[in-house]
Every structure is written in structure tokens, then in C-alpha cells.
């Protein structure tokens, strides 16, 4: 694997390869690398692409911080078989696809204090292969995206959002996402837990996709719990 490297303070832009385009930074099966303080823009593919080879060769334990990833022709960030990475204080904006896209077996990642806005599709999307699970999103600002703010598909389970602004910018100004702030896919089992997030009520949460057994969304804020979908409460207490 690619290990123990630092990529810092670069401008990487307008890359293309053959007719398909290429990413500004492509990290394949990398471990313990740092990507910090770069401007990644105008790629014909994704601004930042990190991928494992298979479940035994995972891209993991990398730190990606203080980067600006914008105006790329596909995803801002694409993750595939990527686990236990830390994404801190990055900007993902004005990309043609999703701002942040998590795909097959991307698990246990932490996203904190990132800004995800103005992307043509979802701000944060869990994509079409299974295993996007146990990821944590803390104090991110997700707003003004062209589809959903957060969209869970393909069996995204055990993902938690804590103290995020969804449909509001960092200043607290209303900046709704176009289709809904949060939605899930109706064809697979997905579940999300929200704790003390500020979610714009217009367009709010779209719960119509919670059609499968064990699909649910829990929303906890200021002592109030909202339960959407298939979730069983037993006993006299409710633990989050």
C-alpha cells in the first residue's frame, strides 16, 4: 500500500487522461497518509478519489484536512472500500456530482467540521453498493445542494449525524437543499441516527423511502425524539 506520505499545500487542477478524465488526487489502497491544505478543482472526474482494492486491502487511517475541493466534473470526494479515515475542515462545493460520495464498504469514517454546499446533486450521498456503515458526521454544514442534503441508499446502516447544520450555512442562515434535507432509498434497508442537528424544516426530512423492514431514522434534539420507519422501542427508557 501507499503509506506514511504527506501531500500538502498544492494547487491541483484541470487534469484529464484519455477521453474519460482523471481525478486530481487518486489514493489507491493507502494507509496512514496525510492530505492537507490543497486546492483540488476543475478535474474532468473527481477532485479526490480514495479506493481500496477489496475488503482485505482497504484504504484506511488516512487524515484529510483543510482542503478545498470544488468545481470538479464528477464527485468532490469519492470513497470506495475506505474505512477509519478522518476528514477534517474541508470544503466540498460546486461539484457536478455529489459533494461527498461514500460507496461499497466505506465504514467507520469520521467527518468533522466540513462544509458541503452548492453541489449539483446530493451534498452527502451513500451510493449503490452495500456496506456504507458506522460513519460519523460531526459539526458539518451541508446546504444549498441541487438534490438532497443527505441521501442514504444501498444498505447504509448505523450512520450517525451529530451537531450538523443541514439546510443552513455556518452563519445559521437558511440555505435549503433542493429536494429534501435528508432522505433514504426505498429499495434497501437503511438507518440513520441524528443527534442535536439543525435540520431546515423546509423541505425537511423525506421519510417516504422508509419502506423496508428495519429501515428507520431517529432524530433527537433538545429532549424530543422523532422516530421514522421500522424501529421497536421496548422497556421504560429510550437510549440514544
pLDDT digits (tens, 9 = 90+) for 167-178: 999 999 999 999
What's the confidence (pLDDT) of residue 9? 73
What's the confidence (pLDDT) of residue 240? 61
What's the confidence (pLDDT) of residue 237? 67
CA gap 204, 198 in Å, rounded: 10
What's the confidence (pLDDT) of residue 178? 98
CA gap 218, 195 in Å, rounded: 8
What's the confidence (pLDDT) of residue 29? 84
DSSP structure string for 86-127: EEES-EEES-SS-SEEE-TT-BS-EEES-EEE--SS-SEEE-
What's the confidence (pLDDT) of residue 19? 31
Q: Considering only the C-alpha atoms of the chain, give the largest distance between any 2 of them, rounded to a whole number of Å.
A: 62
Q: Which stretches in the chain have pLDDT values below 50?
A: 16-20
Q: Which pTM was predicted?
A: 0.93
- 109-130 tens-digit pLDDT: 999 999 999 999 999 999 877 7
**In this structure, how many other beta carbons lie within 10 angstroms of the beta carbon of residue 33?**
21
Amino acid at each position: 500500500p501507499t503509506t506514511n506520505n504527506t501531500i500538502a499545500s498544492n494547487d491541483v487542477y484541470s487534469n484529464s487522461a484519455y477521453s474519460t478524465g482523471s481525478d486530481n488526487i487518486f489514493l489507491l489502497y493507502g494507509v496512514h497518509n496525510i492530505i492537507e491544505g490543497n486546492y483540488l478543482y476543475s478535474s474532468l472526474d473527481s477532485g479526490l478519489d480514495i479506493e481500496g482494492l477489496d475488503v482485505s486491502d482497504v484504504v484506511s487511517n488516512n487524515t484529510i484536512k483543510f482542503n478545498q475541493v470544488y468545481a470538479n466534473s464528477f464527485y468532490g470526494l469519492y470513497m470506495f472500500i475506505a474505512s477509519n479515515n478522518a476528514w477534517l475542515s474541508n470544503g466540498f462545493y460546486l461539484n457536478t456530482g455529489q459533494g461527498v460520495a461514500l460507496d461499497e464498504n466505506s465504514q467507520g469514517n469520521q467527518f468533522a467540521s466540513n462544509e458541503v454546499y452548492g453541489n449539483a446533486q446530493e451534498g452527502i450521498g451513500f451510493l449503490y453498493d452495500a456496506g456504507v456503515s458506522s460513519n460519523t458526521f460531526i459539526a458539518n454544514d451541508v446546504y444549498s445542494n441541487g438534490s438532497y442534503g443527505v441521501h442514504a441508499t444501498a444498505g447504509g446502516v448505523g450512520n450517525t449525524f451529530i451537531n450538523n447544520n443541514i439546510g443552513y450555512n455556518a452563519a445559521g442562515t437558511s440555505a435549503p437543499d433542493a429536494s429534501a434535507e435528508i432522505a433514504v432509498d426505498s429499495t434497501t434497508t437503511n438507518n440513520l441516527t441524528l443527534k442535536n442537528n439543525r435540520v431546515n424544516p423546509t423541505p425537511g426530512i423525506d421519510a417516504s423511502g422508509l419502506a423496508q423492514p428495519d429501515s428507520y431514522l431517529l432524530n433527537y434534539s433538545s429532549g424530543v425524539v422523532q422516530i421514522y420507519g421500522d424501529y421497536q422501542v421496548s422497556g421504560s427508557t429510550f437510549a440514544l
